[in-house]
Amino acid sequence: MTDHVRLASPPSVPMADAAAWHRVVAASMAHDFPGVPAPAPEQIQAQLATPGLDSRRLTWLATASDDVVTGVAALRLFSSPGRDHLAELQLHVDPAHRRRGTGSLLLSAVLDACRADNRRSLITETAADSPGEAFCERSGFSRALTLNHLVLSLADVEWTEVDELADAERPGYRLAGWTGTVPDVLADAFAAAKNAMNDMPVGDLDYGTSQWDADRVRSMAEVVSGRGDTLLTVAAVHEDGSMAGYTEIVLPRGGTARAEQYDTAVVPAHRGHGLGLWVKAAMLRRLRAEHPAVTAVRTDNAEDNVHMIDVNRRLGFGTERRTHEYQLDLPTRPKPTPLTR
């Protein structure tokens, strides 16, 4: 029998729906990403209840005739200038209920929402060589980017080398670090450095650009904190007061042993001085000292981001899996011509 789809948008996602959502995601990931831990139930609840930065989220659940949730979809609609054409999809179907039209039913609801919001591009991520790839290609998506997902076990780290890298002198630069929101004295410099991420490799994705200022970096930290996660940052500060580069780690709520790498960036004018390796080594040492319960760090890099992959390899990261970013180009309505007198 065909599944039924209903909209369940935050902030009104009931706990029962969040529990069902987690069950579907865990089953889907166990099938498509064997060995990769699924988010904990409290992480799923926080993601559903907490709006993302400069975006809003719509969610759908597909249910069978017995009201069992068989599939879920979350659509993130970006709202900041430079990205307000973009929507990002996460879609999971319980493997026990696949090939019954559930994914197509969810995608149809998602596409209706994208058209209603006049979105130009819809992107989604799927495991390499997985059923998700075939689903994307049948649905008209095109592969736009390949990501290498890397994991570092802290038990395997060569700490002597990491300490040497973190202690290395970088004339004209100093290290700074903080937890949560950036200190006010560094907020403007941090925002300027954040804009360096706009030249990261994105393949053929119509990803747009984000413009950062001090208020926006504070808002980002508030979003992370609102989910119950902990945000750690280590930065390289130039002697003129500008920020030359930084790296961010997020510790998910619930005391999980796996930390998640967020941004690492070096401002173009400061590249070629080993700053990316420097701040990442300092971050690893900080994890060892301040968060001994963390046993691994996960990151991902675009396949053509060879410099950052080399940095991660030197620190001991190994390949865990590969994923592909797919994109669907959507027709948009022309904006009305302003009336003139």
Question: How far, in Å, are 74, 107, 134, 267 from residue 127 at the CA level?
Answer: 17, 18, 11, 31
274-288 tens-digit pLDDT: 999 999 999 999 999
pLDDT band (50, 70, 90) for residue 35? confident
Task: Give the mean model confidence (pLDDT) for residues 50-55.
Answer: 88
Ranges of CATH 3.40.630.30 domains, the chain: 4-119, 150-322
Nearest-angstrom CA–CA distance, 243 and 263? 14
pLDDT tens digits, 257-271:
899 999 999 999 999
Per-residue pLDDT at 292: 94
For residue 103, the model assigns a pLDDT of: 95
Please give the Cα distance from 308 to 261 (Å, whole number).
12
- Per-residue pLDDT tens digits for 42-51: 888 888 888 7
Q: What is the pTM of this model?
A: 0.90
Residue in 262, 261, 254 with CA at minimum distance from that of residue 46:
254
Q: Which residue has the tokens 């709202």?
A: 79
Per-residue pLDDT tens for 118-129? 999 999 999 999
What gap in Å lies between CA 303 and CA 165, rounded to an integer?
25
Domain 150-322 class in CATH: alpha beta
Average pLDDT of the residues in 138-144? 97
- Summarised one tens digit per residue, pLDDT across range 189-215 is 999 999 988 888 899 999 999 899 999
What is d(CA 148, CA 127) in angstroms, rounded to the nearest whole number?
11
Q: Judge: domain 4-119, CATH 3.20.20.70.
A: no
Give the Cα separation of 87 and 121 in Å (integer): 6
